[in-house]
Amino acid sequence: RRDSPPPPPQDSVERIVEDAAMDLSLNPFSSGTRLRDMIRAIRASKTAAEERAVVRRECAAIRAAISDNDQDYRHRNMAKLMFIHMLGYPTHFGQMECLKLIAASGFPEKRIGYLGLTLLLDERQEVLMLVTNSLKQDLNHSNQFIVGLALCALGNICSAEMARDLAPEVERLLQTRDPNTKKKAALCSIRIVRKVPDLAENFMGSAASLLKEKHHGVLISVVQLCTELCKASREALEYLRKHSVEGLVRILRDVSNSSYAPEYDIAGITDPFLHIRVLRLMRTLGQGDADCSEHVNDILAQVATKTESNKNAGNAILYECVETIMGIEATSGLRVLAINILGRFLSNRDNNIRYVALNMLMKAMAVDTLAVQRHRVTILECVKDADVSIRKRALELVYLLVNDTNVKPLTKELVDYLEVSDDDFKEDLTAKICSIVEKFSQDKLWYLDQMFKVLTLTGNFVKDDVWHALIVLISNAPELQGYSVRSLYKALQASGTQESLVRVAVWCIGEYGEMLVNNISMLDVEEPITNLMLWML
């Protein structure tokens, strides 16, 4: 035919064959280019309508391939479906293709199939029950990489029914020699225990024995598994208290004293992630158990004193160590050491470290109030911090620190800061000062002085019930009515813009004006008012 294109030159044909061969060498499925083409077309879409058109066209082609039972491009279609799913489009019609790829014999097909399984399905899908048999076969496969694929998939989409069916296989894999398989089996066991807590007793012995491993990946996974077992079962908690505490102490000692290891080193500290996991498990085991707490006291003191605090990783370990000390039945000396660490945190330049230290000190108030009181000056400085979150948290902590012996100096510090604080912070600060004064007032005169100062500085932020209570107290204290009316008159002259101050002062002048004019009931601390404006009343 005259309109037929001319045949391509020979060198062009050879170039095309070479490109195809190169694609095949890069990807045994030869599907990468088509997936890239689809991604390129989607990204080139200028509008949402164009993108939807590209996706509809690709989905139609994939449906046609599924109808024709196209096995050659099943892997490529599944890869495209996963990308389409991540864009938010429906891909439920490709779920059965995942199962067919999983049932294939080759590792590449299974890898795509399991990846599609974890993305396109969840534990609520009824189709998932059909893959249980394939998972069981792959968990018993001779190829460790296929076993790893099955464990990863089971750990992500395991349902309660699948957990009961496949728990024996996972428990067996915890005893294999390959550390990667052990790690994945431990992580998969966590999912199983969360779904079916009754199965916790099946993993207790294996978890305790694996704490003797040297591989850090296995240790982190097993420590997390032990933590989940303690949450799921009281029997598992008691069992691990008897059989795992010594192993945890050994792990923590080895990691703390180990020499430099580049594969685990972070900022000069060996594997802080393992440190933190072990400390959390120690807190779970030692909570409410004096014997277990006694076993871990020495190693906690060692970690608290030897860990460097000039690096973020070290501060993370120290914080977790402090939280563990506060959570177990620790000795008083160890608790003081922990609170002193938090005191050092308050002097750190990092806002996050100061904030978590204030949070932890609030928890420590219930354990050792006296030790926290020693850091009162530093905590008061945090009330004046530039960060609003730190100011609010420090103010809450100061409120907890107030008692009958320190109420006057603390209140004076807060009232002095009230004058220079930001407007956004004055409302919280005013409310806390009023609450402290009302709760810890030692005598009526001190109460009146503090309330008059607050009304003068931030009367607009004083709530109605507070100044109502102040008026009631003045009316019930005849010996202080003259002092009150004179003090309020002076305050009104100094600051007449505070609404609550004006209300209280006007009421008091109206009730006790004669005491104001004639300087009746003068106290020793007062000076008489000689302002001639008084005679105009």
Residue 28 in this model has a pLDDT that exceeds 70: no
15 in any annotated domain: yes
The overall average pLDDT reported for the chain is: 85
Residue 12 in this model has a pLDDT that exceeds 50: no
Query: According to the model, what pLDDT value does residue 230 have?
Result: 94
Q: What is the CA radius of gyration of the chain?
A: 36
Judge contact between 306 and 256, C-beta under 8 A: yes
Q: Quick one: pLDDT band at residue 106, thresholds 50, 70, 90?
A: confident
Q: State which residues form the domain around 101.
A: 10-121
Instruction: State pLDDT tens for residues 333-362.
Output: 999 999 999 999 998 889 999 999 999 999
Map tokens 């914080």 to a residue: 319
Query: According to the model, what pLDDT value does residue 520 have?
Result: 76
Of the given ranges (183-192, 205-214, 421-430), which has the lowest mean pLDDT? 421-430
Which H or E run includes 265? strand 265-266
**DSSP character at residue 47:** S
Query: According to the model, what pLDDT value does residue 196 have?
Result: 93
Of the given ranges (12-21, 473-482, 501-510, 521-530), which has the lowest mean pLDDT? 12-21
Instruction: State pLDDT tens for residues 126-143.
Output: 777 788 888 999 999 999
404 in any annotated domain: no
Task: Give the CB-side neighbour count of residue 195, counting CA atoms within 13 A.
Answer: 22
Instruction: State pLDDT tens for residues 311-329.
Output: 889 999 999 999 999 989 8
Alpha-carbon distance 56 to 60, whole Å?
6
Q: Quick one: pLDDT band at residue 157, thresholds 50, 70, 90?
A: confident
274 in any annotated domain: no
Q: Beta strand 265-266 with 269-270: parallel, antiparallel or unpaired? A: antiparallel
Residue 222 in this model has a pLDDT that exceeds 70: yes
User: Of the candidates 66, 137, 130, which has an alpha carbon nearest to the alpha carbon of residue 105?
Assistant: 137
Map tokens 């190169």 to a residue: 22
* Helices and strands: H and E segment counts in the chain: 28, 2
Q: Which amino acid is at 327?
A: G
Q: How many domains does the chain have?
A: 1
Residues facing residue 265 across a β-bridge? 270
Judge contact between 471 and 507, C-beta under 8 A: yes
Alpha-carbon distance 255 to 500, whole Å?
61
Distances (CA, A) of 57 to 38, 89, 265: 10, 13, 50
Distances (CA, A) of 22 to 26, 40, 71: 6, 20, 22
360 in any annotated domain: no
Judge contact between 218 and 177, C-beta under 8 A: no
Q: Quick one: pLDDT band at residue 279, thresholds 50, 70, 90?
A: very high
Written as six digits, the tokens of 327 are 């959570």
77 in any annotated domain: yes
Burial class (CB in 10 A: 0-12, 13-18, 19+), 199: buried
Global pTM?
Answer: 0.77
84 in any annotated domain: yes
521 in any annotated domain: no
Query: According to the model, what pLDDT value does residue 528 have?
Result: 66
Q: Which residues have a Cβ under 8 Å from the Cβ of 47 and sit 6 or more positions away?
A: none
Q: Is 187 helix (H, G, I), strand (E, B) or coil?
A: helix
89 in any annotated domain: yes
Query: According to the model, what pLDDT value does residue 218 have?
Result: 93
Start-to-end CA span in the chain (Å): 117
Residue 521 φ/ψ region, left for φ over 0, alpha for ψ in the -120 to 50 degree band, beta for the rest? left
Residue 526 in this model has a pLDDT that exceeds 50: yes
Query: According to the model, what pLDDT value does residue 531 have?
Result: 56
Q: Quick one: pLDDT band at residue 209, thresholds 50, 70, 90?
A: very high
